Structure 1
């Protein structure tokens, strides 16, 4: 009877070891769960960024206002008949001149 008790205790210990620290154990499960949560947060940020990019693509394909805005801001373009004024600070220590 004593031998059977020792064998059962050893078997219980081995099963507990595999449950907590073995392959596919609770430690690995918790680590994987944290990785999945982190990846889901990253995916949500990417989903938001993609939605913004799709909206910008739609604006560029459909309307001229977005194209005009990009031309004005990025390339410094002005319309025919417009006058462009550039104001520079009189004191160079106030900051750098505006583009």
Structure 2
């Protein structure tokens, strides 16, 4: 009787092997599910990035607001009749500011041309 029990237990283990460790086993399925979830997250990030880039391209094609913003922040340009104010820290270095508001010049007196920058 003991021999039959051991033989049946061995057969049970042999049947379970493909389920857990085989080509389509639980371990492999869990690994593939993790890969699919990572792929979905990456795809969502890329879609958001593409939407942002698409919006920026449309803005650059249709309006001048984005062009002005890039000229101000990336190239340091200002419009005519504006004053650029730069705040320095204790060490004499420019401070990082998230917003820079232009300060318009007061109107020029009659008969005088405004200074060009």
Change (3 A) 1:30 1:87: closer
Point out where structure 2 has 5 or more consecutive residues left out of the alignment.
Answer: 97-117
Q: Which residue of 2 aligns with 1:48?
A: 48
- Give 1:1-99 correspondences, 5 Å limit: 6=7, 10-89=10-89, 91-92=90-91, 96-98=93-95
The 1:10–1:86 alpha-carbon spacing in structure 2 relative to 1, beyond 3 Å, is closer
Query: Is the partner of 1:36 in helix, strand or coil?
Result: helix
What RMSD in Å do the two structures reach over aligned CA positions?
2.5
Instruction: Give the number of equivalent residue pairs.
Output: 93
* TM value normalised by structure 1: 0.75
Give how far 1:71 is off. 0.5
Comparing both chains, which one has the higher relative contact order based on Cα–Cα distances under 8 Å and sequence gaps of 6 or more?
2
Separation of aligned partners in 1, 2:42 and 2:53: 17
- 1:83 deviation in Å? 2.6
